[in-house]
Structure 1
Amino acid sequence: MRRDQVPARSDWRARVEALGFDFHTLEGAYWVEDGCYRFEQHEIDLLEAVGDELHAMCLDAVADVVRGGDFEWLGLDGVAAGLIERSWRAGECALYGRMDIAWSGVGSPKLLEYNADTPTALFEASVVQWHWLEDTFAGRDQFNLLHEALIQRWRELMPEGATVHFAGCLQVVEDHVTTDYLRETCAQAGFRTKLLDMSDIGWKDGRYVDLQDDAIATIFKLYPWEWMLDEPFAIHLAKAESRWIEPAWKQVLSNKSLLPLLWERHRGHPNLLPASHDPRDIEGAVVAKPRFGREGEGVCIHDRGTDFANAGVIYQAHAPLYRSDFGYGLIGLWVVGDDAVGLGMREDVSPVTGNASRFVPHCFG
């Protein structure tokens, strides 16, 4: 694994915009055209195997939480618990997720967190970096089966002839592109789709409806479950027949209290870091993370653990990210269904990866 410089395509802006990637420049450069991360085949094989194993461990953890009713330990109230139990026991299946992994190519990859409810940077990982590879021939291949896997997953999730609604905060360009891309994969799988903003979801005659008063039978929402529960329409969630993707049980996996839960179950596992709700349980440098934070929000790195715990915060042993002259590199390991199927690299001058951290393409071979 290494970070390389590569020649930029002379017309790269026009090329990525033609794909629908209009946010290649956010607070400065977001898409990195003149660099890439190179892996060896055995490194990709290792990451794939690690992703599959960690995902299976996470599903076992959800089953344990539902069986034991340990929702308060996760900071989840009775309403959230009821939705989780119902969706898990009904066997509602998930679409996708992204594990954030710290690894330098030496030692064992370490799980930092699981973005299992509303992961973004998907379009960049699935489509944009694949076209970069085809244009540049920078490497022989890329760990990127995302597009094909998503199409196949829709066919596994949905009955023939179904209509799927897609909702998100459409005024946010990244959310709009991600939602629209997933809608396109669903359409390519052979299903009818409808797009709407979260604010356009209504309730009429005992069912959720869209702006045309069409019933919402199945809906993908790029919107966190903890925000959903604060919406006015949340009072109907327990009785509505609508099926949500991602399902409500994803609240367990997207909750950073998952990290101490996994550590308690698999203490010493090579791909896990010590984690706890009490910083005194962690030796050496520690990372404090809000239970429901996203995109690096509220994450702090301390040289050593503090002497007191803050409510709603988990503490995890610090695992250094891959570091080069260009910054810190974070591995995003994509899971579709139950399989690790792709990789996306984020990079920042800060060791905390945030919303505007750069996306860098990768290749191997």
Structure 2
Amino acid sequence: MRRIPYGPVRDGWQLTNFSLGLTYNDDVLPDGSMYSYWREGPYYDFTAGEIEELEQATATLYEMCLEAGDWMVEQCPRRTVEGRKRGFFTSVCDPQTCFLSRIGIPEYTHEQIIRTWFDGDAETWTHYDKDPDMRLPMQTPDFSPTVYGRFDLWYNGAGSTPRLIEFNAQTPTSLVEAAVIQWHWMDQTGVTEHPWRQWNSIHDRLVGWEATDGEPGDPGAWRRNIAKLREARTWLPEKPKIFFAYETSDTSGEDRMNVAYLMATAEEAGFPVELIAMSQIGWDVAGDRVLFVPAPGREHEAQPIDVIFMLYPWEWFWHEEGGKAFFRNMADPSKRGTVWIEPPYKAALLGNKALLPVLWKLFGKDPERGKYLLPAYFADSKGAATLTSYAKKPVWGREGGSVTLVRDGVPITDNPSEYGSDGRYVVQELCELPSFDGLEGTVHPVIGSWLIDGEPAGMGIREGIGVEGLVTKDNCHFLPHTIESKN
């Protein structure tokens, strides 16, 4: 793993990147200077062996996350038929015993979190008919697709072991620049002649590829997941329309373009699509359906939503007005409830920092799998007191918000934000990001290792500058990478 400080600078690279979807590159800093999110010139280079190590770490970490999700679900009384019966009119989830309640997830969401986690496995989860007192099992299995996710990893090249910093499981961004922009950069600069060139099969794994020269093809994540979904929800057409929703309050355009890119891959895979705002998602009280409402006053043009991708945190959604109705709508596939991508479990079980102490509890002593982890504990636990150098993170937080790094008992950097106001924090043993020399000073890269449909698919690299750059924030730069560059 090398940082190449003086790579090629393409003529007109800003316009090229903009035309490929990086419309959110430029910004003005508080001191009036211009900021470029994409770094043209420097890049990181890896050996094929290092890429294989990152790929193996990604696959192993995802396996561990699935086991950790099972453990979390086991702590919830609503996982059993009896627990759901007892909890039909009352609360059965005590924060002392139910893990989901402990980390602040409303109890009314637990059943759907667990149901989407088990994908309606008939032996694990039982669906009921419309009469809750009858409790008759239905023979309709269900399925909740998951398309993507991103691990943030510490890595310093050969001789080091990748370590998990966190899992962006539900709403990871930087997808456009990882899947498209850096691929075109590599193709246009020709800085490597290695057969792999770059660890980046993100686009192909989303869209799929045809069989050639005896090599098997792959239908891709969209076709594979929708096919499974149609097995469970037989009324869906062969190519159901997929809505893609983003939050318009993000004025940078980053959310819109990440969603638009995913929408383009679904369209390339053969599905009808439509880009909408979160504010255009409505509710049909009479029909108990989720709707797309083009605008206020145009309710007569509303369309039922069968399948929707949403780049919006579930932990916000389930605290908002109307959240209970949307979760109730998911309960029974025979009612044509809306399928949400990514499903609720991605936020509740995998996409928050509470995953870190669970992984350490389950695998910290495993010599083969535990090596990819850092010791982590809930901040109010006895284990937390054993750490003198650590990162303190809110259970529910994003883009480095409210993360504090402590070295030998002394804070070295923090990032105050609204996250963590509920007092729920975890601590993770401090593992400072690697240091490389950059033009502006010391830079610190973090590896973003992508999963498509649960499979390792490529990486993107972001780096911060100086001590503040030890916490990766929204103003950190994105740099491309190669495999065995000629430079």
Find the partner of 2:198 among 133, 138, 142. Answer: 142
Who is 1:157 aligned against? 225
> Which protein has greater RCO, CA pairs closer than 8 Å, 6+ apart?
1
Who is 1:15 aligned against? 16
In the aligned structure 1, how far is the partner of 2:165 from the partner of 2:386? Answer: 15
Find the partner of 2:350 among 244, 253, 256. Answer: 253
Deviation of 1:358 (Å): 0.3
Deviation of 1:101 (Å): 0.2
Larger % of strand: which? 1
Equivalent residues in 2 for 1:157-306, closer than 5 Å: 157-159=225-227, 160-172=238-250, 173-204=253-284, 205-211=287-293, 212-240=301-329, 241-250=337-346, 251-268=348-365, 269-278=370-379, 280-304=384-408
In the aligned structure 1, how far is the partner of 2:176 from the partner of 2:425? Answer: 30
- Answer with 1 or 2: which has the greater Rg: 2
Deviation of 1:284 (Å): 3.5
Find the partner of 1:112 among 151, 165, 168. Answer: 165
Who is 1:92 aligned against? 144
Who is 2:416 aligned against? none
Q: Is the 8 A contact 1:56 1:338 kept in 2?
A: no
| AA matched with 2:164 | L
Q: Is the 8 A contact 1:282 1:315 kept in 2?
A: no
In the aligned structure 2, how far is the partner of 1:332 from the partner of 1:12? Answer: 23
- Percent identity between matched residues is 34
| AA matched with 2:351 | S
1:360 aligns with 2:479: yes
In the aligned structure 1, how far is the partner of 2:75 from the partner of 2:457? Answer: 31
In the aligned structure 2, how far is the partner of 1:195 from the partner of 1:358? Answer: 28
In the aligned structure 1, how far is the partner of 2:454 from the partner of 2:47? Answer: 24
Who is 2:297 aligned against? none
Return 5+ residue gaps in structure 1 as ranges. Answer: none
Q: Is the 8 A contact 1:282 1:316 kept in 2?
A: no
In the aligned structure 2, how far is the partner of 1:176 from the partner of 1:81? Answer: 29
In the aligned structure 2, how far is the partner of 1:193 from the partner of 1:282? Answer: 51
| AA matched with 1:206 | D
Q: Is the 8 A contact 1:274 1:282 kept in 2?
A: no
Q: Is the 8 A contact 1:284 1:305 kept in 2?
A: yes
| AA matched with 1:143 | W
> Hey, which bits of structure 1, 4+ residues long, moved more than 6 A?
none
> Could you state the TM-score of these two structures normalised by the residue count of structure 1?
0.96
Deviation of 1:281 (Å): 4.0
Return 5+ residue gaps in structure 2 as ranges. Answer: 30-34, 77-98, 121-142, 208-219, 228-237, 294-300, 330-336, 411-419
In the aligned structure 2, how far is the partner of 1:78 from the partner of 1:280? Answer: 27
1:53 aligns with 2:60: yes
In the aligned structure 2, how far is the partner of 1:235 from the partner of 1:57? Answer: 31
Q: How many residues align?
A: 363
- Name the CA shift for 1:11/1:248 in 2 (closer, same or farther; >3 Å): same
* Cα shift readout 1:89-120 (whole Å, capped 9, x = no counterpart): 32423110000001111321100000001000
* Cα shift readout 1:136-184 (whole Å, capped 9, x = no counterpart): 0122300000001112100011143111010011352000000000000
1:78 aligns with 2:107: yes
* Cα shift readout 1:157-212 (whole Å, capped 9, x = no counterpart): 11431110100113520000000000000001100111110011001121011023
- Name the CA shift for 1:283/1:232 in 2 (closer, same or farther; >3 Å): closer
Q: Is the 8 A contact 2:108 2:324 kept in 1?
A: no
Deviation of 1:249 (Å): 0.8
Deviation of 1:280 (Å): 3.3
Q: Is the 8 A contact 2:391 2:428 kept in 1?
A: yes
Deviation of 1:233 (Å): 2.7
Q: Is the 8 A contact 2:154 2:163 kept in 1?
A: yes
Deviation of 1:135 (Å): 0.4
- Name the CA shift for 1:136/1:74 in 2 (closer, same or farther; >3 Å): same
Deviation of 1:80 (Å): 3.0
Give 3-state SS (helix, strand or coil) of 1:244's partner.
Answer: strand
CA RMSD of aligned residues (A): 1.6
- Name the CA shift for 1:281/1:265 in 2 (closer, same or farther; >3 Å): farther
In the aligned structure 2, how far is the partner of 1:360 from the partner of 1:185? Answer: 23
